[in-house]
Amino acid sequence: MEKTANILIIDDDPDFVDAIKAILENKSYKVSTAYDKNEGIKKINSEKPDLILLDIMMEKLDDGFTICYELKHNPELKKIPVLAISAITRETGLKFSIETDGEYFEADDYIVKPVRADDLLERIEKLIKK
């Protein structure tokens, strides 16, 4: 029997978190949530999830960048895949992509809000299978 993946959603928008959590639980994923940087870091360390869905801009505009940096520079945690989810381009007007900004932001993939459920699930499957 295949193990159910544990996914941690770190995002400060409760409505978005609830919607994504429902989509993932409907596909039998085990989901936990964190609503800010500090709670997210604590849950990463205690739960060691199989995948993290990470908002880039939370209370501080760089919270997601900070979490990802700390994660990817921790030998025990750096292999946990990170799917960044953000409206950074829409909110700031800045163009952002893993291809051009990967040097500064080491997420494994990036998806723009609003998120289509089928696109999100496809990306999650790819990252979990890596």
Q: How many residues does the chain have?
A: 130
Domains of the chain (ranges plus CATH)?
6-129 (3.40.50.2300)
**Which of 14-18, 35-39, 64-68 has the weakest average pLDDT?**
64-68
For every residue of the chain, DSSP letters joined together read -PPPPEEEEE-S-HHHHHHHHHHHHHTT-EEEEESSHHHHHHHHHHH--SEEEEES-SSSTTHHHHHHHHHHT-TTTTTS-EEEEE-HHHHH-----HHHHTTT---SEEEESSPPHHHHHHHHHHHHH-
Higher pLDDT, 24 or 114: 24
Q: What is the pLDDT of residues 86-109, one digit of tens each?
A: 876 555 555 555 555 445 568 899
- Tell me the pLDDT band of 41, cut-offs 50, 70 and 90: very high
